[in-house]
Amino acid sequence: MIGFVLRKTLYDLWDNMFKIVVLNLGFITVVSIPIFLPVLAAKYFDSTAMGMALSAFGIFICSVYLASVAVTVKSISNYSSFSFGDFLRNFKTAWPAGLVMSFFVFLLFMVVTVILPFYLGMESPVGIVFAAIIFWVTIFAMLSFQFYFTVYARLGSNIKKSFRKCMIISVDNSGFAFFFFIHNLIVLILSVLFVFLFPGPAGILLYLDEALRLRLLKYDWLEANPDVTRRKIPWDALLIEERDKTGTRSLRNFIFPWKD
């Protein structure tokens, strides 16, 4: 199943390269806000609170943008496409999810930079225990909420349910969640070679949406077959229609599609 997700996403990224690049270009523009605003403010205001407030605002803008991208690229994994007018309309749907995620990212930043070092600095068994608990809770949160935007986009715009479904999906598919977390870190690092224009954040969100959409076939099948063993999912049967729609491509077809 994972192999098919990677192949289908590769095809979709290639077919929609221009749109993915433009979405990533928009993100690069947006992400400059939390980078440069605090630096600029520091020249005129000697205030730590001002710097943190501007950083929080920048995180909010970035989160809202990524939420809008997640809702937008959903159409690609559905074998369709989108216009940039769709992106502007999706902003109205996505901004609440971005707002909530910005609070989560800011909290995660505070945990990593303030709370965790505080307990480690206690140099006592109690401090180590609390630091270990916080560390593993943070890891679980990162594994679970990597799917947050795609769950919100695909399973309905209910923030509370989206967070709960993220945790359920992560616990029920721990290997799947861990694989895509590592995979997307690698993709993000490789994106540096292309200045984050490709695959970049938009490509990663597309990977996650493709993976989630296909993983949900498992739950449709389990609902229709409640008495079967959950560990024996017939992926070959479930993906027949998807494989027929996606097809296969040669290297020649990738480079010179008009010749096949």
- Number of structural domains, the chain? 1
What SS3 class is residue 31?
helix
pLDDT in tens, 175-205: 999 999 999 999 999 999 998 999 999 999 9
Record the tokens describing residue 150, joined without a space.
Answer: 């795609």
Give the residue numbers spanning the domain of 176. 2-255
pLDDT in tens, 106-117: 888 889 888 999
> Does residue 211 lie within any of the structural domains?
yes
pLDDT in tens, 211-249: 999 999 999 998 888 888 777 888 999 999 999 999 888
pLDDT in tens, 89-140: 998 889 999 999 999 988 888 898 889 999 988 888 889 999 999 999 999 9
Peptide bond into 199 cis (omega under 30): yes
Q: State the average pLDDT over residues 32-46.
A: 70
| Residue 183 near residue 137, CB atoms below 8 Å | no
pLDDT at 242: 94
Distance (Å, whole) CA 24 – CA 199: 8
Task: Tell me the backbone φ, ψ of residue 221, rounded to 5 degrees.
Answer: -70, -40
> Does residue 157 lie within any of the structural domains?
yes
Record the tokens describing residue 170, joined without a space.
Answer: 């992560």
Query: Position of tokens 């795609």?
Result: 150
> Does residue 260 lie within any of the structural domains?
no
> Does residue 185 lie within any of the structural domains?
yes
> Does residue 84 lie within any of the structural domains?
yes
What SS3 class is residue 232?
coil
Calculate the CA 192 to chain-centre distance: 17
Report, in angstroms and rounded to the nearest whole number, the Rg of the chain calculated over CA atoms: 20
